[in-house]
Amino acid sequence: SQELEQSPQSLIVQEGKNLTINCTSSKTLYGLYWYKQKYGEGLIFLMMLQKGGEEKSHEKITAKLDEKKQQSSLHITASQPSHAGIYLCGARQTRAGGTSYGKLTFGQGTILTVHP
């Protein structure tokens, strides 16, 4: 099965600082999703990347997909306490139309703490 490795595992930053979270896949990526999770709760969708070189932004969060490196990064500019939580990357491991296409395999998560 596809392995997704996130780095760092945890991150503590001062409010206002920029930060980057990385997600590296051991296999081909057929779609990369970023979610945010508060402890013990469900996952909130942030962004979906499907094409190599694709970059998407929402408010102060930007995600990029490097298909050749099988890697994605999530960058937060001028972090705020509201950004704190667990960030998870999830990947599709089969082509569209393949068996069980649709399910996501997740990384272990990155715990972000933002100090005011």
Partner 1 sequence: EAGVAQSPRYKIIEKRQSVAFWCNPISGHATLYWYQQILGQGPKLLIQFQNNGVVDDSQLPKDRFSAERLKGVDSTLKIQPAKLEDSAVYLCASSLEFEKLFFGSGTQLSVL
Interface with partner 1 (CB under 8 A): 4, 33, 35, 40-45, 48, 88, 90, 96, 99-109
- Taking the complex as a whole, how short is the minimal distance between the CB of residue 115 and partner 1, in angstroms? 22
- Taking the complex as a whole, how short is the minimal distance between the CB of residue 83 and partner 1, in angstroms? 19
Q: Of 50 and 73, which CB lies nearer to partner 1 in the complex structure? A: 50
Asked whether 36 and 87 are in contact (CB, 8 A), the reply is: yes
- Taking the complex as a whole, how short is the minimal distance between the CB of residue 11 and partner 1, in angstroms? 15
Q: Of 64 and 107, which CB lies nearer to partner 1 in the complex structure? A: 107
Who's near 89: CB < 8 A, 6+ residues apart? 4, 6, 21, 23, 32, 33, 34, 35, 72, 74, 106, 107
- What does the radius of gyration of the chain's CA atoms come to, in whole angstroms? 14
